[in-house]
Structure 1
């Protein structure tokens, strides 16, 4: 059971104050990056979660609404302020919480609420950073972190990004996991590792650390510095949407396709 999200949350916000009023699987800490007020949010494991499908760090019904609440709070608090609180999503989510109860009770709305809250904060001028410290899978990633102005990932084999887990992807494609891994070696979008994901041009930075599971003092300092750099970069960018992701060297073709479609429409 992964606890990378909780580990890095504590490491980066050691001098912060835990916000109250959230479920055990959503940790919210108010701290700072330099002089910038910052709210850190992580979805973590909770073996006592009322929904059994959300006990291993998945983003479920309750998690989606609580993440949305954590973000909406700072948006409301800073509505009349020029200096907006930064939001850092510490990401280690294996998926959304699959289950009949979740589907019946509207997990699509809960996760959409979380994604919308991140997008609303970004469009309101809050700098939003997604820090991938472990798994960033499926709807869990879409709800928690993908809407960030800047995406940063640890350069570590434990960091993985994909639309679905390997076992599920193998079933859908009628392959074994071993066959899927061979296919992923030649087709980057099918791969899970962060190195291949970085070739898609969606990451702002990929950062090497000595120990991603138990970060050292130097590791924490390095990530704090990259977070500070991201805030500076966001402040220099007039765009509050996600169009910046199209301007990397690796996404020139995507940008050209969009431009041609815009002309056609």
Structure 2
């Protein structure tokens, strides 16, 4: 089926497509209120109901522009956006701190970002610390039992996807018919770095998902749990994955979620066949010398 529509730049629209009708309350997560509209405008945060349950929404708004930082536009995650997103996660953790794992609220990340804000001012002020704080916050929430579902609706690129998406328990994506784009680095940049001509890399990308860009290739690598072929499918898919995540947490199978689990999934799909061999070899080599470096008792 071929789609002509795109969800790129429609992060706010996606909220209403996913959550219960009229349930989204922007700017409030637990006890925290985000009341400064000029702080991190590219990040939309708030609380909603999904299938009757409280969820935290963290959304890329590609229509916003941060006037203080000229490089932060079109969904780019800048320093303020990173801190705002991290604060929303920690507010979620605090709100459910006394609840058992099975009652921890879900975090839904709506992802449409072309990258981080690379401006000199942002780098000096600490953009990397901000985005790193957000990534750490998500990892802490996932390990605390919060289901985190990343829903890619447009672009999920480079370091911005690293902080806003890859720490999710499960990652879903609209399929390539929507123009959805997922990659770590464009082939032009890879070409400059590894000194391979672009034509060679383009040929490699046809059969090797490591070099390719797009949700279908990340699916083969295990980086995307499910591809969705219609916008109406986002809501039921997220609800179903929340159930799967909660079941895995309840069964003590947390290692099947998040980045580590996706590595295993990539091997099962024959997209990352070398990874388990390398891990096994490293384990063997470590075991051979472990006694030498083991702490004395």
Structure 1 residues 253 and 69 mapped into 2: Cα distance closer, same or farther (>3 Å)? same
TM-score (norm 1): 0.87
SS in 1 for 2:176: coil
Alpha-carbon separation, structure 1, partners of 2:46 and 2:190: 35
Confirm or deny that 1:254 pairs with 2:275: yes
Structure 1 residue corresponding to 2:168, chosen from 118, 126, 148: 148
Report matched runs for 1:114-125 at 5 Å: 114-125=134-145
Of residues 255-264 and 99-108 in structure 1, the stretch that sits farther from structure 2 once superposed is 255-264
Confirm or deny that 1:93 pairs with 2:99: no
Deviation at 1:180, TM superposition (A): 4.9
**Equivalent pair of 1:246/1:252 in contact (CA under 8 Å):** no
Confirm or deny that 1:35 pairs with 2:52: yes
Q: Corresponding residue for 2:236? A: 225
Alpha-carbon separation, structure 1, partners of 2:76 and 2:42: 9
Q: Corresponding residue for 1:136? A: 156
Of residues 27-36 and 62-71 in structure 1, the stretch that sits farther from structure 2 once superposed is 27-36
SS in 2 for 1:190: coil
Q: Corresponding residue for 1:199? A: 220
Confirm or deny that 1:66 pairs with 2:84: yes
TM-score (norm 2): 0.78
SS in 2 for 1:87: strand
Q: Corresponding residue for 1:212? A: none
Of residues 176-185 and 116-125 in structure 1, the stretch that sits farther from structure 2 once superposed is 176-185
RMSD between superposed Cα atoms in Å: 2.3
SS in 1 for 2:59: strand
Unaligned runs of 5+ in 2: 1-6, 29-33, 287-297
CA deviation vs aligned residue, 1:193-224 (integer Å, no higher than 9, x gap) = 21122111222111111xxxxxxxxx33x211
Number of residue equivalences: 255
Structure 1 residues 166 and 261 mapped into 2: Cα distance closer, same or farther (>3 Å)? closer
**Equivalent pair of 2:142/2:169 in contact (CA under 8 Å):** yes
CA deviation vs aligned residue, 1:46-97 (integer Å, no higher than 9, x gap) = 2343111111211111111011011110101100012111001111110111
Deviation at 1:98, TM superposition (A): 1.0
Q: Corresponding residue for 2:293? A: none
Alpha-carbon separation, structure 2, partners of 1:24 and 1:188: 34
Of residues 224-233 and 241-250 in structure 1, the stretch that sits farther from structure 2 once superposed is 241-250
Structure 1 residues 179 and 60 mapped into 2: Cα distance closer, same or farther (>3 Å)? farther
Q: Corresponding residue for 1:17? A: 25
Alpha-carbon separation, structure 2, partners of 1:2 and 1:202: 20
